[in-house]
Amino acid sequence: MNTIEIDGSFGEGGGQILRTSLSLAAITGQAVHFTKIRANRKKPGLMRQHRLCAVATAEICGGTLTGAEINSLEMNFVPGRIKGGEYCFDIGSAGCTTLVAQTILPVLLFADKPSLVVLKGGTYVSKAPSFDFLDRVFLPCLRRMGADVTANLVRPGFYPVGGGEVVLEIQPIRKWRPLELVEGGEVICGRITALGCRLKQEIMDDEVSIAREKMGDGEWLTEIREVDALGSGNVLFLELERQNITELFSVCGEYDLSRKAVACRVAQMARKYLSSKAVVGVFLADQLLLYMALGQGGKYLTLPPSLHTETNAEIIRRFLNVEIEMENLKNGTYMIEVKK
């Protein structure tokens, strides 16, 4: 068996390199040797969430791991045969459940039978996809490609306590379809939602009001929702439902981040997206690549690709014989196309 060498300091040098490589190793049956894992991060090596990504992938495909310890910079993974079924994976911290889902979901699409997966940890974590992004933005795109996947939030989990729970139901893929997102269409509905646990009502009121003010003209549906979680926390969403796609921007409240800063950051991301001709936002652009490469390809119009996206594309090329082109259209947008 050939072993693919993955240098974790390449490109953006973070956890996405590990997650994409683990998924593709399991699907293609190729062994991987990781070095310099997450070398470009403040705390390099495997953290709890990253270690669980490796352990979960190995369990799902009957693979073997060596070096999968907390803080490890080097690890070997030899995959086996992918098996569907019921799984439960607990990060044991507020580590992000949606990032673990990113790793195992593509693997279980190639399983021999349906799967039900319980993930425990954080569902609203800074600098990571929220559960709502997974459920209302990413999964609808995946279904357009032919996948049958649903997600259910049993309990939210905020940093630093965690304790959230997400359930995924995944059917093996039957037939892939190409994905084309080059026209977003008009905005049908805009929503601003503040979600919190054991938080002063006025904080969430202010977040929604400031975000609405920063977005300027237009009608916005607003909601302030108190939820039950093991620890206190807060997140603000701004969701844009367009004719052909939904995008969602979110910022988690933090102890050193004012309610105004939370609202302004969410509005800034949304305004940047709306002022462009892009259809797919920068975060979704990164996440769609793997599935398009595994499936029937396609293309989408997006903002200038992030280093995450460029790095992800290069890792995919290491495992799959696929062309990924990123064309600068000279108007602030790129057309990214995956050719099979």
Catalytic residues: 308
Q: CA–CA distance from 7 to each of 85, 140, 215, 235, 240 (Å)?
A: 32, 33, 42, 34, 37
Nearest to 313 by CA among 302, 323, 304: 323
Nearest to 156 by CA among 107, 121, 201: 121
The residue to which tokens 């367009």 are assigned: 242
| CB contact burial 135-161 (16+ within 10 A = b; e otherwise) | bbbbbebbebbbbebebebeebbbbeb
Phi, psi of 180, rounded to the nearest 5 degrees:
-130, 120
Q: How far is CA 325 from the centre of its chain?
A: 21
DSSP 116-131: EEEEEEBSB-TTS--H
Q: Is the Cα dihedral 112, 114, 118, 123 positive or negative?
A: positive
| Helix (H) or strand (E) run with residue 75 in it | strand 75-78
CB–CB of 334/299 below 8 Å? no
| Helix (H) or strand (E) run with residue 253 in it | none
Two tokens at 229? Answer: 């979680």
